[in-house]
Structure 1
Amino acid sequence: MSEAEKIVGYPTSFLSLRWLLSDEIANVALHLRKLVGSNHPLLKTAKSIIYNGRNTQAFGLIVLLISKAAGHLNAKPVEEDKAAGVLHSQRALAEVIEMIRISNLIHKGLVNINTDESLSVESSELNNMTFGNKIALLCGDYLLSNSCTELASLRNQDLVFLISSAVRDLCQAEFVACRDNQNFPIPSIPPEDRTGYALKEWTLLNVYGAGSLLGKSCQGTLKLAGHSKEIQAEGYKFGKHLALAWQASLDLGLCINKDKEILHNLCAAPIMFHVEHDPSILIELDKGLESVENVDYLKVLEIIAAGPGIGLTKELIKEHSQKAMEVLNVFKESDARKALSNIIVAIGDF
């Protein structure tokens, strides 16, 4: 990723530095200090954005790399960032995508405060949760509204419609699969004929959750460059398959490393494949219907390790990685194409 950032001119983890240093976000940062010591997930989200930006802010980098790999047609000299080989509008789109992505992550940090349970919670903790929710909601809304303004300033109606539909899909992702009381996903009961159940459910959840945004971002940046609809369609396929390969890789890493973060995504690919293979694991997973925290995640991961889920997930990563790599062959050999190829290889390096 570091090598790829050099190709597009500067670290894309600082794409959103302009709005991170704005007065509004500075005020939010001051309010966040009041939450230090509490258990509100907004703090964890903020830390991941600041200290681990290469994971959460990689979409903008991918958009700029595919922009440079494809080149642009009939652009006015004033529109081109010659140092990076991309258009100023393409760089603006990359910023928009980062703002949308991060606003979505922040909104996911909202805590569902159950009024019945809140009676037994200390008033100070309840106040922290309520205050944290207000900050998360307003901060996420601020970033999303800014992304809309920035997108509108590009004055491209087709692009606005395209990215708006990706935002719609992000919202739709929160209504896919069963959910616990904090809206974390849980596998649903498979049908009597379980063939293809895991792949269908996992793909639906993650195309809405990430594949659509990255796919339509790559499609949109090629539209800005004046490429044909056929090339734009290839861009969408590339972004979608790369996002799915990336997510499957993250799912696999959580399972192999026995990371407790897996509780926040019990619909991870290895778990879904095991549910299809042996639905009896749902007896353990059903404990998460009230809250995923009730699930013995180490026991679940031990069960999965003995089944086919790990192997099938590796095949899933390979499949989507290969499809993304095939799309790259549409573009001429270049340092940007090589960087994208290296990222795909790194994702599948298990």
Structure 2
Amino acid sequence: MLFSRGLSRISRIPRNSYCCRWFLSHRSDTRPVLLPNVLSLHPSESDPQALGYREIMYLAYSNLHGLGRQIHHQSSSIVEEQLDPFSLVADELSLLANRLRAMVVAEVPKLASAAEYFFKLGVEGKRFRPTVLLLMSTALNVPIPKPLPHSVGDNLTMDLRTRQQCIAEITEMIHVASLLHDDVLDDADTRRGIGSLNFVMGNKIAVLAGDFLLSRACVALASLKNTEVVSLLAKVLEHLVTGETMQMTTTSDQRYSMEYYMQKTYYKTASLISNSCKAVALLAGQTAEVAILAYEYGKNLGLAYQLIDDVLDFTGTSASLGKGSLSDIRHGIITAPLLFAMEEFPQLRTVVERGFDNPENIDIAMDFLGKSRGIQRARELAAKHANLAAEAIDSLPENDDEDVRKSRKALVDLTQRVVTRTK
């Protein structure tokens, strides 16, 4: 179980505070401790910084149980049962899945079957992004539809909720289209534990299926008749292309730059969920401040998600990941764990520059990674962004509605699920 979070900002505690000294003096492990600088992009930087209550408790708890769990602070210190975020919106997710399947019907049967490939039961997974967006809708005080008679006012609310559900559908179509295109570019043969579409039906059909999904998403987006939302999600499409191009056309210096990696990660992964969260807020008529908080939640959640993805590429198995492990390094893609490892072992860069066509070079790189703190520092950076996402939810205007509170807690719980997942 996790301590639930309050709605106030977390105050910072100096690193030399009593709480920090207590933790250091009561450790059962007598080995020296390096306090991770979870507040900066580079956790190894030596600049003295203040640690917050969350970071202090994170260090104490991870010393006992590893990075797998984190404690969240609430002034009342009341322990609540952890919510299953997906169960809160399960009925809506089922409706959304059915609508997605209906939306990919096409006049050309082969195109329709190709587009539907990843919307079949058993393949679609838990629909992480739609879950986030539906929870965000409720967290911003948009009621969950109930099968009861409605007044005129209720119908207006239902219409808003339907429009926000449409954002979730659009987001999922864009996401799946990007996966189809990525698999063609990467020449992948598996996705989510089954044969990738390009492997099963060929590259041409896979590309056309991705294009078809994007066109369906654009039609749905236009139906919202909201130019600000249209502009937001159109920018996402630009970001997806930009991110993929950045990955394919890096210079030597860019390839080994953490800042460049994080910018590319935002474009390829975090832009979609962050701007979709903002779109949900805009449709609800929220203030600019609330819309920014929704955006910040999505951005940091997306960055944390991708950082853990990059870690799992080294630590996971093909069975757990639903794709081949070490796929990034085999394609010459340098991610956070290796970038951090290179800071400790600069000679690793020479190995990377030789390429990984020779399996021996992969073994050498993995040996350097194992001796470094690359995996740990990537997890720490993911935890930092997960905490920033949770703080964005903490900063939303207070609300006593039970559904709103549950949804906000579920969004916070999702930040921890992201950093503790194993697949």
Same-fold call, TM cutoff 0.5: yes
| Residue 299 (structure 2) aligns with | 240
| Residue 263 (structure 1) aligns with | 327
Query: Structure 1 vs Structure 2: percent identity of aligned residues?
Result: 25
| Residue 381 (structure 2) aligns with | 316
* 1:256 partner letter: T
| Residue 252 (structure 2) aligns with | 189
Which residue of the other structure, out of 65, 77, 84, is the alignment partner of 1:3?
84
**CA separation in 1, counterparts of 2:129 and 2:327?**
24
Residue 27 (structure 1) aligned with residue 27 (structure 2): no
**CA separation in 2, counterparts of 1:285 and 1:258?**
22
Which residue of the other structure, out of 183, 202, 211, is the alignment partner of 2:261?
202
Contact 1:258 1:298 in 2 (8 A): no
- Alpha-carbon shift at residue 143 of structure 1 (Å): 0.5
Segments of structure 1 that go 5 or more residues without pairing to the other structure are 33-41, 114-127, 180-186
Change (3 A) 1:60 1:129: closer
Q: Please give the TM-score of this superposition, normalised by the length of structure 1.
A: 0.76
Contact 1:103 1:139 in 2 (8 A): yes
- The alignment of Structure 1 onto Structure 2 pairs a total of residues equal to 306
Residue 80 (structure 1) aligned with residue 157 (structure 2): yes
* 1:59 partner letter: R
Contact 2:129 2:273 in 1 (8 A): yes
Contact 1:19 1:25 in 2 (8 A): no
- Alpha-carbon shift at residue 165 of structure 1 (Å): 0.4
Change (3 A) 1:46 1:302: farther
**CA separation in 1, counterparts of 2:358 and 2:285?**
52
Q: Give the SS at the match of 1:174.
A: helix
Deviations 1:76-110 (Å, cap 9, x if unpaired)?
5224349xxx7110001100000001011111122
| Residue 407 (structure 2) aligns with | 336
Deviations 1:126-174 (Å, cap 9, x if unpaired)?
xx97961111111001100000000000000010001100111011011
**CA separation in 2, counterparts of 1:146 and 1:48?**
14
* 2:177 partner letter: S
| Residue 90 (structure 1) aligns with | 164
Contact 2:106 2:112 in 1 (8 A): no
- Alpha-carbon shift at residue 318 of structure 1 (Å): 1.4
Residue 145 (structure 1) aligned with residue 215 (structure 2): yes
Contact 2:100 2:119 in 1 (8 A): no
The structure with the largest helix share of the pair is 1
**CA separation in 2, counterparts of 1:12 and 1:141?**
24
| Residue 230 (structure 1) aligns with | 289
Q: Which structure 1 residue ranges, 4+ long, deviate > 4 Å from structure 2?
A: 29-32, 45-50, 128-131, 292-296
User: Rg bigger for which structure?
Assistant: 2
| Residue 129 (structure 2) aligns with | 59
Segments of structure 2 that go 5 or more residues without pairing to the other structure are 1-81, 144-151, 188-197, 319-323
Give the root-mean-square deviation of aligned CA atoms: 3.4
